[in-house]
Amino acid sequence: MRVIDSHTEGEPTRLIVSGGPDLGSGPLDARRRLFAARHDGVRTFVLNEPRGYDAMVGALLCEPTAPDCAAGLIFFNNAGFLGMCGHGTIGAAVTLAHLGRLAPGTHRFETPVGIVGVDLRDRNTATVGNVPSYRHRAAVRVAVEGLGPVTGDVAWGGNWFFLTESAPCAITAANIPRLTEAAQRIRAALARDGVTGRDGGEIDHVEICGPAPPGADARGFVLCPGGAYDRSPCGTGTSAKLACLAAEGALAPGAPWVQESVIGTRFTARYAAGPDGTILPSVTGRAWVTAEARLLRDPADPFPNGIGGAA
């Protein structure tokens, strides 16, 4: 299997460019379900140790169904499959440019939750025009073990997020273990209380929001579904944040919003009004290709599909 690795503002993406599972040519959401049902060993093979690690996000390069799309992408991580991934889309665009398959300019990518726009600015910079995003519930309060009452919004940015009003400690790299534990406890409290997204969608991302550092508008810590924190500011999380700001009237359409990650990297985002009360976010970030590799599977390997993957 041929893969190319990149990182987007610190967050890794591993793109499968050949040798992935044959999922046919149906809609991307149907292909994602087929991937999960019949080929989950490929996901663990690509991302689990010893070939990968918890923070890595995978993407399968697919033929799109829409004729005006440059590529189709199915995203996955160490815990399962994702609807959309902002940093992964930026990473995929930069990787396709590295391969000579994508020139600077405006393109469209197909994902399981809809078509997104990609404006490749240069060899490292891209803007993703994300799927329509919205705040689902405001000021939801849950009692969290060890933290007390925590208030936040439930919002969709391509994945479901709970975005807190405040942080239990400073959002710094030194506090990553403490922030991780807090976010895990928040997610457990949401599940316990039956707090979900629309139509019962699982809230699998928690974004702990903190005050703005110099030169940015906010700093956040995002816990991803598999327990790893996002090294980037999180593209779908930033989209969810914009949806909350727009719902509050706290950010005007077209105004820039600089979101900083726990490690100090940044995305610049804006939004336009969308249909039915949604917003249309755009998120700009940078990515770098870090490796080209062929992943090998030896039948004698005691972990042929990675540690924790089914044989």
Active site residues: 85, 234
Six token digits for residue 220 = 């956040």
Six token digits for residue 194 = 């039956």
**Contact between residue 263 and residue 180 where contact means Cβ atoms under 8 Å apart:** no
Parallel, antiparallel, or unpaired: how do β-strands 148-156 and 71-76 relate?
Answer: unpaired
CB atoms within 10 A of CB 168: 21
Who contacts 57 (Cβ-Cβ below 8 Å, separation ≥6)? Answer: 11, 12, 13, 14, 47, 75, 76, 77, 82, 85, 87, 88
> In 64-164, which ranges are E strands?
71-76, 81-82, 105-111, 114-120, 125-129, 134-144, 148-156, 160-164
Six token digits for residue 267 = 């995305």
